[in-house]
Structure 1
Amino acid sequence: MPEVPAAETGPSVKAPRKRPLQIGEDFTVKKKSRWGILTSQGSWADRSPLHEAACQGRLLALRTLLSQGYHANIITIDHVTPLHEACLSDRVACTRALLQAGANVNATTIDGVTPLFNACSAGSASCTQVLLEHGAQAQASPCQPSPIHEASSRGRSACLEALVRWEADVDYVIPHLGTALYQASLSKHLVCIKLLLDAGADVQRGRYEDTPLHVAAQGDSEELVSLLLEFGANANARNTEQKRPLETAPPSGLAEAALLQFEAAPRSLRQLCRLSIREQLGRRRLNLIPQLPLPSLLQRYLQHR
């Protein structure tokens, strides 16, 4: 029988230190390689059996441990909870069981990481949805790791779609990262970029003076440059080096060709009208376009489809 910690009710219950968890060498290497910035490495010695069950998706073992007195909010020295573990490993059944047992859906590690951030990092759309349904904060607190930035930079489009649906701020800025749109553009994740733009993300907001169009031009992505221009990106915006996107594009590249073509043939009246109407509607009402008493053709036009 494992040693069962005394029953406690607070979220800051420490994991037992007397019986360090024995983890197989192969599993340890694999897990640590995924851990990244999510937690510090020092928490491995004091992970509880509940952490291990959540990580490996052993639902029966997890429920047994909970019934024996292990607290759902038991933490390691780095404040990693079993819920963090379940979400990072895409264990949706364990995630549900922990939440039903009273796990803190917004628990943070010493690095400020939440279970929602872990779910987005792992690309677990199921865990992301379950967490949001149980009150997870879709928007990160200031200066804390941001789920929407993580989903955008890693191309986790299903997680990003859930965050947008639960009204995460698509224009939220982290100084050293910029906006989620900037991160998605930097990583060239077109599906995530389209999701953010459809949700009304400001096409001009990036990181400091660099716009998403600047980073798209630097990455020589013709498709991304064309998409950003379609949504109203300013081809004459200047970055911190006072350069326009065209001036940052690789010479004779695809992005340069797309920007030169745009300068030779500016936006049509049709494009300008669409951008103006979307601006008048406002970001928070763009999702209501399908409900407008308009022909489906016009609805698709306003949605860039």
Structure 2
Amino acid sequence: MSASISVERSCTKQNLLKRSLESRGECPAKRKASWGILTSQGSWADRSPLHEAASQGRLLSLKTLIAQGYNVDALTIDQVTPLHEACLGDHVGCARVLLEAGANVNATTIDGMTPLFNACSRGSASCVELLLEYGAKAQWETCLPSPTHEAASRGHSDCLELLISWGIDVDQDIPHLGTPLYVACVSQQKQCVRKLLYSGANVQKGKFLETPLHVAARQSSTEIINMLLDFGADINAKNTEFQRPVDVASPRSLVESILLLQEATPCSLCQLCRLHIRNYIGRSRLHLVPQLQLPTILKDFLLYR
């Protein structure tokens, strides 16, 4: 018998037992005890009462269930925990109660999704901040779903800003996705593109040889094109098909005109100096620019203010 069939039959038995208990009018204490047997020793169950309360934001019910001894890390077949549900629903109060009760802040589903990923997917900055305070891992070395890429692709700039403030690598390159800047350009999320560039993201790093400027040229987003150029994007960079950004832009479009003008117009000395100084300072020290003994106007210029 395969493992999947075994699990399916096990869960069917669990469902039947649960319905049997409810149909016989068992008291809540007995139902809880029976559920505890089902979910003990690592057994899986369908959504527990804790999952339902967390997903619907029923804070009082959640506290009551925890006080009755329900497992805060109860798993569904897909290894979803109540904390996953609370974060996906933007229920920060429920998430806090679960974490205070000892819920695993870095629990991963069968698809590798963490509560932090769910919070970034929903755009819940409050849940993101809470999870980070409780030790959530913002970035994984393996190719698990990335909270940073999720926030960038969905345009949740507040979540992205929190992740950046906790020291994530803004140039994290996931082979099938590229960098956060690349996915933000793919989704045309202007605020996230701006946030990443201001934080020192490498304007040339995209997906393989495809740069953020290439994908922005395809998307015909003039505002993103101008931002990338302002941060030093190379108009002569070639992708795997040996095409430059202007080559992938729509013919006779405004984007093509901007790129052709950039090609014909030398970069100003001021701009060259700004890019060189920022590169010399390094991304990890850009936050120290306000402390430099320089006129405010120069510090603002370096920080694109």
TM normalised by structure 2 equals 0.87
Give the conservation status (yes or no) of the 8 Å contact 1:7–1:71: no
The offset of 1:9, in angstroms, is 12
What secondary structure, in the 3-state scheme, does the structure 2 residue paired with 1:3 have?
helix
Alignment correspondent of 2:49: 49
Alignment correspondent of 1:275: 275
Alignment correspondent of 2:152: 152
The offset of 1:13, in angstroms, is 4.2
Unaligned 5+ runs, structure 1 = 18-45
Alignment correspondent of 2:233: 233
Alignment correspondent of 1:257: 257
By percentage of residues, which structure has more helix?
2
Give the conservation status (yes or no) of the 8 Å contact 1:8–1:71: no
Q: How does 1:72-221 map to 2 (within 5 A)?
A: 72-221=72-221
Query: 1:265 and 1:199 mapped to 2: Cα distance?
Result: 27
Alignment correspondent of 2:10: none
What secondary structure, in the 3-state scheme, does the structure 1 residue paired with 2:64 have?
helix
Of the structure 1 ranges 92-101 and 254-263, higher mean CA displacement relative to structure 2 is found in 254-263
What secondary structure, in the 3-state scheme, does the structure 1 residue paired with 2:53 have?
helix
Query: 1:216 and 1:163 mapped to 2: Cα distance?
Result: 24
Query: 1:277 and 1:186 mapped to 2: Cα distance?
Result: 29
Query: 2:292 and 2:100 mapped to 1: Cα distance?
Result: 40
Give the conservation status (yes or no) of the 8 Å contact 1:221–1:254: no
Alpha carbons of structure 1 residues 279 and 8: separation in structure 2 relative to 1, 3 Å = farther
Map Cα deviations across residues 119-144 of structure 1 (whole Å, 9 max, x no partner): 00000000000001111111133110
Query: What amino acid does structure 2 have at the position aligned with 1:281?
Result: I
The offset of 1:8, in angstroms, is 12
- Highest relative contact order (Cα 8 Å, sep 6+), 1 or 2? 1
Give the conservation status (yes or no) of the 8 Å contact 1:140–1:147: no
Query: What amino acid does structure 2 have at the position aligned with 1:169?
Result: D
What secondary structure, in the 3-state scheme, does the structure 1 residue paired with 2:55 have?
helix
Give the conservation status (yes or no) of the 8 Å contact 2:86–2:92: yes
Give the conservation status (yes or no) of the 8 Å contact 1:13–1:73: no
Q: Percent identity?
A: 58
Query: What amino acid does structure 1 have at the position aligned with 2:204?
Result: Q
The offset of 1:220, in angstroms, is 1.1
Unaligned 5+ runs, structure 2 = 1-27
